[in-house]
Structure 1
Amino acid sequence: MPPRLTKALLTFIACALALGACSRIDLAYRNLDRLVPWSLGDYLDMNREQKSLLDERLKTHLAWHCTTQLPGYLDWLDRVRQMVADNAVTDQALQQRTAEAREAIGRVAEQVTPSATELLRGMSDRQVAEMRQAFRDDIAQRQKEYVDTPLPEQVEKRATRMQKRLQPWLGELTAQQRQRVKSWSQALGDQNSQWVANRAHWQQQLVLVMDQRSSPSFEPRLAQLLQRKESLWTPAYRAAFQNTEQQARSLLVDLMKQSTPQQRALLEQRLSKVRTDFSELKCLKG
């Protein structure tokens, strides 16, 4: 499959929006000069002017993010570490940390929207057609991987993925914790189908906006898609998302209650390592 401008732009936007929640963003900062050219070669099918604009804006946004946003993330990590150290991982505390993270992601979304607007407004009809096909391929792949399997299999795979995500932070889970992860996965039910359906809905909205990229309404409509995407969620997904967040908080609270001293020590160690990686970034020191 040939490289697509669409994939590059959406990857750029998605990475920017995800900076606030990515525990390995230090790797992206440390290796930016090495990673960016390869990512461009892998994903972009654009002219020289578009490539130059993307390079310039990506570096500008990463510099802004590192110098203005990461100091606040250090404070956020300190609050998370203290929460773990005090054995105070409660539903209320997790709601507060989540709200803080969501605000941080919102600031990034606002920052990248003008660049995303300029990049997307300049796409040709051919590139927009490629976007439509990329979206169709994306949904077909996710439908096959996450939805077109029996629900018991979805539940089992979801539990397995969660256990793999938890292991680097807590080490080997106990039998009680593994059972709790399974019950969490069961409580989400057919959340996969709602997630994929809502993803398709968002993509369709973006395609409609792209068809109007020469009109005055393009910028505010794109801003809504990037900054206030929750306003465009389907009712079914809105309910599913609320349940997903509640179930995730409940899972974390219970896992910490069930955790061993060794697991808590490992978690604090990993959180400290993430904070150290952030604090040692050259852009912060410079």
Structure 2
Amino acid sequence: MSGRIAPFRALLLVAALLLAACSRLDLAYRNLDLVIPWWISNYVSLDDGQKRWLEPRLEKHLSWHCRTQLPGYIAWLEQLDKLSQQPTLTATDLRGQFSQVRDALQDVAVEITPTVLGLAQSLSPQQMGELYVAMDERNAELRAEHVAPSVKDQVAARAQRMRERVEDWLGPLRPSQQARIDTWARSQGDYNRVWAENRDSWQKELRNTLYGRHGPDFPQRLTSLLQQPESHWAPAYRKAYPASEQALAQLLADLFNSADQRQRSALRERIGEMAEDLKGLDCYPR
């Protein structure tokens, strides 16, 4: 393991990455021991001792994830396959699927918390400065891409991203389905700003917590940030999030309900491929 490593969010996103639109989940999963350090390396350089300390813990987490979490992902995909065979879906059906993904992310957060605590307590002042600079740079990039453009341009980009994601599952969309996505994108308005402000708020609390990383309340504070991030949401985001999730669930239900046989077949094939990729994995022999 080499390079610069920042553990605070990487492993927490492993489950989400595996369920993203990836053509070879099995290949991606088998290389997580390389991908995670590379991803983390954008934030802070670790010394040799920290790398040696982290490496076996990362291997343990990956082994745990493979043995205990993959069966749940496969079951989730099998549930999704059953849903895809129904004549119609409701937003409630899909929000239930969202909830299961959140539960999986929570399991990962709980698993990695002790490692994050230990590594954070070992960071030097110089490493903390490096972490803050990297966070600021990343935030500036995200704001330039998602917040600085006009709301009209944000809506257009949001619609384009969603079209690409949906087409990865359903194949080419009909004009009426593209129009439904455009309507959803407009309904979200300046949600990007609310999201970015919430991200800033969470990171501000993270910085304050890390500043006191040698204090007696540090473990409790960082554990809360990792395992109960919603308790640190900004008020505007807390208010907007439920409506945004409902709108997304309704959009996906409407797109499914309007799908023709070709699109539904493509969806089932995509789900099946992902499930087979995960079923074919051998877990780390720990």
Paired residue total: 282
Change (3 A) 1:179 1:272: same
What are the equivalent positions in structure 2 for 1:49-128 lying under 5 Å apart?
Answer: 49-128=49-128
Any conservation in 2 of the 1:194–1:236 contact (CA below 8 Å)? yes
Any conservation in 2 of the 1:113–1:223 contact (CA below 8 Å)? yes
AA matched with 1:78: E
The 10-residue stretch of structure 1 (269-278 or 58-67) with the greater mean CA deviation from structure 2: 58-67
Deviations 1:177-200 (A, max 9, x none): 000000000011100001111111
Structure 2 length-normalised TM: 0.91
- Residue 145 of structure 1 is matched in structure 2 by 145
Q: CA RMSD in A?
A: 2.2
AA matched with 2:222: L
The 10-residue stretch of structure 1 (98-107 or 171-180) with the greater mean CA deviation from structure 2: 98-107
AA matched with 1:59: E
The 10-residue stretch of structure 1 (31-40 or 100-109) with the greater mean CA deviation from structure 2: 31-40
- Residue 13 of structure 2 is matched in structure 1 by 15
Deviations 1:139-174 (A, max 9, x none): 222111111111111000110011111111111110
Deviation at 1:68, TM superposition (A): 0.9
Structure 1 length-normalised TM: 0.91
Give the SS at the match of 2:128: helix
- Residue 173 of structure 2 is matched in structure 1 by 173
Select the structure that is richer in helix.
1
Give the SS at the match of 1:92: helix
State the distance in 2 between where 1:20 and 1:107 align: 15
Deviations 1:200-232 (A, max 9, x none): 111111100001100111111001111100001
State the distance in 1 between where 2:245 and 2:57 align: 33
What stretches of structure 1 of length at least 5 have no aligned partner? none
Give the SS at the match of 1:9: coil
Change (3 A) 1:210 1:42: closer
Change (3 A) 1:151 1:36: closer
Deviation at 1:30, TM superposition (A): 1.9
Give the SS at the match of 1:236: helix
State the distance in 1 between where 2:110 and 2:201 align: 22
AA matched with 2:195: W
Any conservation in 2 of the 1:206–1:222 contact (CA below 8 Å)? yes
Any conservation in 1 of the 2:155–2:185 contact (CA below 8 Å)? yes
Identity %: 36
Deviations 1:259-284 (A, max 9, x none): 11000000000000000001000118
Any conservation in 2 of the 1:177–1:255 contact (CA below 8 Å)? yes
AA matched with 1:64: W
- Residue 231 of structure 1 is matched in structure 2 by 231
What stretches of structure 2 of length at least 5 have no aligned partner? none
Any conservation in 2 of the 1:169–1:270 contact (CA below 8 Å)? yes
Change (3 A) 1:166 1:284: farther
State the distance in 2 between where 1:86 and 1:60 align: 40
State the distance in 1 between where 2:124 and 2:109 align: 24
The 10-residue stretch of structure 1 (68-77 or 230-239) with the greater mean CA deviation from structure 2: 68-77
Deviations 1:234-265 (A, max 9, x none): 11011221121011001001101111100000
Change (3 A) 1:117 1:17: farther
State the distance in 1 between where 2:124 and 2:244 align: 38
